[in-house]
Structure 1
Amino acid sequence: MTSRITLISPAMNRSLRETRFDDGSPLDPSGAARAESVAGSLRSVDRVLVSPSVRCRETASALGLSGVAEAELAGLAGLDMGRWRGLTLDEVMAREPDAVMAWLTDPDAVPHGGESVRGLCERAAGWLDVAGGFEGRTLAVVEQEFVRAVAVTVLDAPGPAFWRLDVPPLTATELSGRAGRWNLRLGRELGAEDH
């Protein structure tokens, strides 16, 4: 059985625009408008999953998707940034430059007290094992860092590769395959080839 999964990154919001560790801010008006403009172009799917963050839930809503955002979907959450949540990268860099450098170079580092990049990649790998059993098409609106963790896992790339992947807002990353064997298509802008 082949599973087909589309991961959609959330539309633009203040946190993304300011390089701020997610603070629960809503979508920008421009981000919501962009999502609404491509809402009718999405393929029909058998299941919709939504990460629990505000921007993912609002992106799904703007896309016209009724998604499941239950407690068991916490595995789809973005990286837990601990005490850095709500701060900009520049703010943290000014206060804790050594901690930021450790976090950016060591996939096991957790200077913020949250989750390591390796921990996120392991969580993504566990989700992929489950997703390999999904029948039909699945669409999941998830944070950019979750998309990066999935890509690192699928490609069996080293942990530092996580920082080399750019996931623009409101793009689709597609997976086809099954647990242990996935093909990956990165960064397609929504609205292109969605019919």
Structure 2
Amino acid sequence: MLISPAMNAALREARFEGDAPLDAAGTRRARAAAGQVPGADLYVSGTSERCLRTAAALGLHPTPEPSLADWDMGRWRGKRLSEVSDGEPEAVASWLADPSAAPHGGESLAELSSRVGNWLGDLDESSGRVLAVAEPAVVRAAIVHGLGLPSATFWRLDVAPLTITELSGRRGLWNLMCGQVL
């Protein structure tokens, strides 16, 4: 089960920001949803402040998992998508069209998907039910990898704040339940 973190200013502004804190409204919503979080055998979290603070507001004490870190956007970090699109339209077009492109100097979509896919692949039945608080890009990568979808599908998925996406099954045979609101 993957819970997307609560809202923050960076998300509202469509800014590449992997470590922005929650805002007051996001914290309130996460606290209000705390009683609706399903139980699990293992609790993990992405390493961003937003994931860790969402987990805390939900009453969880997860282990930070580096494989679930947000997408490394390199020199675009902190910039708005509109700003990058205006200043580097060819780079943005390449990034959107080619999963191996990383014009920002960070991680390509292919690298993100591989990292998240390796984490999924390392889960086994002894892990039991796993609940992770993870950034939307990580959730999208998990869906694409888990279901064996084409890379371009990543751009067509929206992951709303404080929703649960559930991949059930096992390596190579995942099923998807998406968008359950907490």
The interval holding the TM-score normalised by the smaller chain is: over 0.9
Unmatched runs of 5 consecutive residues or more in structure 2: none
Q: Provide the residue aligned with 1:78 in structure 2.
A: 70
C-alpha contact (below 8 Å) 2:18/2:77 kept by paired residues: yes
Determine which of 99, 108, 122 is the counterpart of 2:114.
Answer: 122
Instruction: After TM superposition, give the deviation of residue 25 of structure 1 in Å.
Output: 1.8
Could you list the runs of 4 or more consecutive aligned residues of structure 1 that deviate by over 2 angstroms after TM superposition? 132-136
Secondary structure of residue in 2 paired with 1:38: helix
Q: Provide the residue aligned with 2:176 in structure 1.
A: 184
Q: Provide the residue aligned with 2:16 in structure 1.
A: 21
Alignment of 1:1-195 (within 5 A): 6-69=1-64, 73-190=65-182
C-alpha contact (below 8 Å) 1:120/1:146 kept by paired residues: yes
C-alpha contact (below 8 Å) 2:18/2:72 kept by paired residues: no
- Matched to 1:91, the amino acid is E
After TM superposition, the score normalised by the length of structure 1 is: 0.90
Instruction: After TM superposition, give the deviation of residue 105 of structure 1 in Å.
Output: 1.1
Unmatched runs of 5 consecutive residues or more in structure 1: 1-5, 191-195
Per-residue deviation, residues 120-178 of structure 1 (Å, max 9, x unmatched): 11111101111234432111000100110011112211111110000011110011111
Instruction: After TM superposition, give the deviation of residue 98 of structure 1 in Å.
Output: 0.7
C-alpha contact (below 8 Å) 1:132/1:177 kept by paired residues: no
Name the CA distance, whole Å, in 2 between partners of 1:169 and 1:178: 26
Per-residue deviation, residues 32-67 of structure 1 (Å, max 9, x unmatched): 100000101222211110100010001001100011
Name the CA distance, whole Å, in 2 between partners of 1:184 and 1:75: 20
- Matched to 1:108, the amino acid is S
C-alpha contact (below 8 Å) 2:18/2:71 kept by paired residues: no
Name the CA distance, whole Å, in 1 between partners of 2:18 and 2:2: 22
Instruction: After TM superposition, give the deviation of residue 23 of structure 1 in Å.
Output: 5.0
Q: How many aligned positions are there?
A: 182
